[in-house]
Amino acid sequence: RKEVEQDPGPFNVPEGATVAFNCTYSNSASQSFFWYRQDCRKEPKLLMSVYSSGNEDGRFTAQLNRASQYISLLIRDSKLSDSATYLCVVNFQAGTALIFGKGTTLSVSS
Partner 1 sequence: NAGVTQTPKFQVLKTGQSMTLQCAQDMNHNSMYWYRQDPGMGLRLIYYSASEGTTDKGEVPNGYNVSRLNKREFSLRLESAAPSQTSVYFCASSRLAQGGANVLTFGAGSRLTVL
Residues contributing to the site for partner 1 (CB under 8 A): 31-32, 34, 36, 41-46, 49, 51, 87, 91, 94-95, 97-103
Would you mind telling me the total number of residues written for the chain in this entry?
A: 110
What is the C-alpha to C-alpha distance for residues 59 and 75, in angstroms, rounded to an integer? 6
Give all strands (DSSP E) within the chain, no chain letters: 4-6, 11-14, 19-25, 32-38, 45-50, 55-57, 60-65, 70-75, 84-91, 98-100, 104-109
- Among residues 69, 91, 72, 73, which one has the least CA distance to residue 24? 69
Nearest-approach distance from CB 108 to partner 1, in angstroms: 22
Nearest-approach distance from CB 73 to partner 1, in angstroms: 16
Q: Which one, 26 or 91, has the nearer CB to partner 1? A: 91
Q: Which one, 60 or 100, has the nearer CB to partner 1? A: 100
Question: Could you say which DSSP state residue 66 is in?
Answer: T
Q: Which one, 26 or 76, has the nearer CB to partner 1? A: 26
Q: Which one, 32 or 72, has the nearer CB to partner 1? A: 32
Nearest-approach distance from CB 32 to partner 1, in angstroms: 3
Nearest-approach distance from CB 17 to partner 1, in angstroms: 25
Question: Could you say which DSSP state residue 31 is in?
Answer: -
